[in-house]
Structure 1
Amino acid sequence: MSTSAPPPPQRVRVGIIGCGEVTQVIHLATLVNLSHLFEVRILCDVSAAALAHCSARLPHLHRTTDAYDELCRAADIDVVFVASSDEYHVEHVVCALKLQKHVFVEKPLALCRKDVELIETAQRESGGKKVMVGYMRRYAAVFQDTIREVGGAGEVLYARVRDIIAPNPVFVGQSGAFPIQPTDISEAASADRKMWAVKGTNQALVVENDVPDTPENVEMWRWLCSLGSHDISLMRECLGVPTSVLGVSLRLPIWTVLFQFPNFAVTYESGIDQVPRFDASLEVFGKHKTVKVVYDTPYVKGLPVTMVVREAVEGDPGAFQERTVRRTYEDPYTLELKELWEMVVKGKEAKTTPADSMKDLEVFGMIMKAAEKQRAAA
């Protein structure tokens, strides 16, 4: 007796706004690898060179445009990828939602809380469309194991978040993606981006956090919104939101923060140096168990995310055991996009929502206000 094969999965039709580094190195390759789930229909960028470069990498017919509203309006698009510069995320996300499209947006979702609120309003008025923010580290399979292990570790005594890495070009240059840096961005486009950057950081620092927008504070805010959003988001999902900041050192290129949680403290250290390695982890210390999730650069495909558990052996006070868990070689970006497919096709709620992303900006504000308080007291 013959049985019919199950129907192929529904393919989600994608439009991408922004053909810069993350699209060139990560998103195009991942979407093409997941061609049974996704099909890129439209690419959009203000750079003709970036458009041509990305277009040449797609193995199927598609269109290109320099007008993001044209892409959002297209009837053959199910989800809009917003991978444009941070300054334009709110504009592009809101446009997509108003035109009844689901959205996948790279982090940071926005530079200030006001813009997140605009996105939340647009989502409520979109007729049920969803927004997923691209915190790919939180979609690593072993990170969910880490949360379960931490839950079984008993009382948390202390935790450490660490993310000290080399500059991105070190890893991009070894990724095999061979991206380009376009040189055809007009002066008007560059000036417009700078103007929106000033508005966003001024709103975040001065208006929302009562912190002066000095060049040093602006630079620190941008670092927190970029590299810091990985670390703080990961910490929040595993441990919750800190109650206060006990101390802070924001001397770039490496910064350190001591967070207070209800019953324990967390050290957060991050920044960029010139050592060609990727040192990123979250480590939680319980009374009888230490759990650590370790990340390597996502720009080199196939490097595993691992969990290291060190613990006492029950019933044998002198015994110690250590185990390393590698759940899969499937990278977090791939796992993230599988969750996106579930969101678009099956209506599954994403865990990395605008409301979730807002909490990062609140923690960044806590850090900046603590630093300003320390400076005033010095």
Structure 2
Amino acid sequence: MSSANNKILNVAVIGCGEVAQIAHIPNLIVASDMYKITALCDISVQSLELCSKRFGIPDTFTSVTDLLASSVPIDLVFILTADQFHAEHIIQCANAGKHIMIEKPMAQTLREYDLVEEARVKNNVVIFVGYMRRYATALERLKEEIKGKEIKYVRVRDIIGNNKYFTSQSGQYQQYFTDHPSASTAEMIKRIKANLHENLGDKAQEDKRNAHSWSLLHSLASHDLSAMRDVIGMPEKCLFASRSDNGDKSWWWNVVWGYKGFKCYYEMAIDEVAVFDAHIEVYTNDSRVKIQYDTPYVKGLPIKLIIQKQLPSDDFSEQVIRPTYVDPYTLELPLIYDAIVNGKDYKTKPLDAKNDTILAKMVMDALID
């Protein structure tokens, strides 16, 4: 892609934890016709030392302010930090004139989304939200298959095993460190409480599960809700929501969304079985079309489209389509490049991402327990 204009984007990676080590840094290095990593930034010195040595990136920083003030060339920043600091880091980088790829969730409150959008417009930069499931080729095939058909029912499921079962088999030999400054940890805890109160008001402290619930709705659930919106749009209302009682946590969820003419059932959980069952299935009167996701942490696992329908002969047909083995993290890279270098439009902007926090608030308001 870059051969036509010979433009290589200089990239700084902020946050050198799990997703950086397994996916983003290796992918950026391989995509050397589009990108060059010029700097790393993390509050963990041990993470910096590991990634600097492993990936051959000598320029490292322990603060975003120092990174942006340095003479290191930077066109694009990958922000992979703790969720509570996303909006602050995005705005800081945008105000420095840098383009941004931000891991989901982009922000924690509706106000933060608006501030990020304001920074995007003011600084004329790309802020690409990394909803990688929405860039799966199979998702586009699903949308093509159901186009023009009357939807009768939709099921969205994300019941998966703990990430450790998949990350341990990623083949990237990632390491985890805890040498985080105590002040940063204290600030994160403070922000978690403040964000929860901003989103839920006086209800924030009514149930000890609320903090974990809000976190899960913005982590695992944001994958599902964002992809759901991509396929069938925003629901009119949340008709029902229920969560399990696991002490101060809620690992099992059931939600019913109301759409014009049909309902969507959403189920989500994290358990201790090494199975990744994440899919969206759309039912029309004469077909059932399902996209089946697999873990993104093991490279090369295909995302499949399964189509069930009756043939004109009245025979039953089940078709399994595998558009590509290329994973969505990798598929995002040329799209980010095109947005920055060629000005091509992209769908995962800040105000699009804001809808997932709106949906999370709808779920919390609809809880029956």
TM-score range, shorter chain: over 0.9
> Is 1:244–2:237 an aligned residue pair?
yes
Q: Which runs of 5+ in 1 are unaligned?
A: 1-5
**Matched residue of 2:227: which SS?**
helix
**Matched residue of 2:159: which SS?**
strand
Following the alignment from structure 1 to structure 2, what is the Cα–Cα distance between the partners of residues 37 and 369?
Answer: 44
Among 340, 345, 359, the alignment partner of 1:344 is 340
Q: Encode CA deviations 1:42-87: one digit per residue, 9 max, x unaligned.
A: 100010000011112224x541001102323456111111100001
Following the alignment from structure 1 to structure 2, what is the Cα–Cα distance between the partners of residues 369 and 357?
Answer: 19
Residue 217 of structure 2 aligns to which amino acid in structure 1?
A: L
**Matched residue of 2:116: which SS?**
helix
Partner of 2:55: 58
Verify the 8 A CA contact 1:211 1:368 in the aligned structure 2.
no
> Is 1:227–2:225 an aligned residue pair?
no
Among 156, 167, 176, the alignment partner of 2:171 is 176
* Equivalent residues in 2 for 1:1-378, closer than 5 Å: 7=4, 9-59=6-56, 61-74=57-70, 76-126=73-123, 128-152=124-148, 154-206=149-201, 212=205, 214-251=207-244, 252-314=250-312, 316=313, 318-371=314-367, 374-375=368-369
Decide whether aligned partners of structure 1 residues 337 and 369 sit closer, same or farther in structure 2, where only a CA change above 3 A counts. Answer: same
Following the alignment from structure 1 to structure 2, what is the Cα–Cα distance between the partners of residues 34 and 103?
Answer: 17
Following the alignment from structure 1 to structure 2, what is the Cα–Cα distance between the partners of residues 192 and 23?
Answer: 22
Q: Encode CA deviations 1:283-334: one digit per residue, 9 max, x unaligned.
A: 00001111100000000000000100111213x3x22111111111111000
Give the CA deviation at 1:33: 1.4
Verify the 8 A CA contact 2:197 2:204 in the aligned structure 1.
no
Following the alignment from structure 2 to structure 1, what is the Cα–Cα distance between the partners of residues 231 and 197?
Answer: 31
Give the CA deviation at 1:248: 1.4
Between 61-70 and 285-294, report the one with greater CA deviation: 61-70
Following the alignment from structure 1 to structure 2, what is the Cα–Cα distance between the partners of residues 157 and 87?
Answer: 38
Following the alignment from structure 1 to structure 2, what is the Cα–Cα distance between the partners of residues 73 and 284?
Answer: 49
**Matched residue of 1:349: which SS?**
coil
**Matched residue of 1:189: which SS?**
helix
Verify the 8 A CA contact 1:211 1:369 in the aligned structure 2.
no
Give the CA deviation at 1:192: 1.4
Percent of aligned pairs with the same amino acid: 36
Q: Encode CA deviations 1:241-291: one digit per residue, 9 max, x unaligned.
A: 111112111112110101110110000001101111100000000011111
Partner of 2:247: none
Following the alignment from structure 1 to structure 2, what is the Cα–Cα distance between the partners of residues 188 and 69?
Answer: 16
Give the CA deviation at 1:214: 3.4
Q: Encode CA deviations 1:101-150: one digit per residue, 9 max, x unaligned.
A: 11100000011111111111111211x11100000000111111111112
Following the alignment from structure 1 to structure 2, what is the Cα–Cα distance between the partners of residues 73 and 125?
Answer: 20
Give the CA deviation at 1:7: 5.0
Q: Encode CA deviations 1:187-231: one digit per residue, 9 max, x unaligned.
A: 222111111221122212217xx6556331111010000000000
Following the alignment from structure 1 to structure 2, what is the Cα–Cα distance between the partners of residues 111 and 191?
Answer: 17
Q: Which runs of 5+ in 2 are unaligned?
A: 245-249
Residue 335 of structure 2 aligns to which amino acid in structure 1?
A: E
Following the alignment from structure 2 to structure 1, what is the Cα–Cα distance between the partners of residues 302 and 52?
Answer: 29
Residue 332 of structure 2 aligns to which amino acid in structure 1?
A: E
TM-score, normalised to structure 1, is 0.92
Verify the 8 A CA contact 1:206 1:213 in the aligned structure 2.
no
Give the CA deviation at 1:9: 3.7
Following the alignment from structure 2 to structure 1, what is the Cα–Cα distance between the partners of residues 24 and 206?
Answer: 34
TM-score, normalised to structure 2, is 0.95
Q: Encode CA deviations 1:337-376: one digit per residue, 9 max, x unaligned.
A: 11111111111122100010011111111100011xx34x
Verify the 8 A CA contact 1:72 1:101 in the aligned structure 2.
no
Verify the 8 A CA contact 1:48 1:184 in the aligned structure 2.
yes
CA RMSD of aligned residues (A): 1.5
Decide whether aligned partners of structure 1 residues 213 and 68 sit closer, same or farther in structure 2, where only a CA change above 3 A counts. Answer: farther
Aligned residues: 361
Residue 311 of structure 2 aligns to which amino acid in structure 1?
A: V
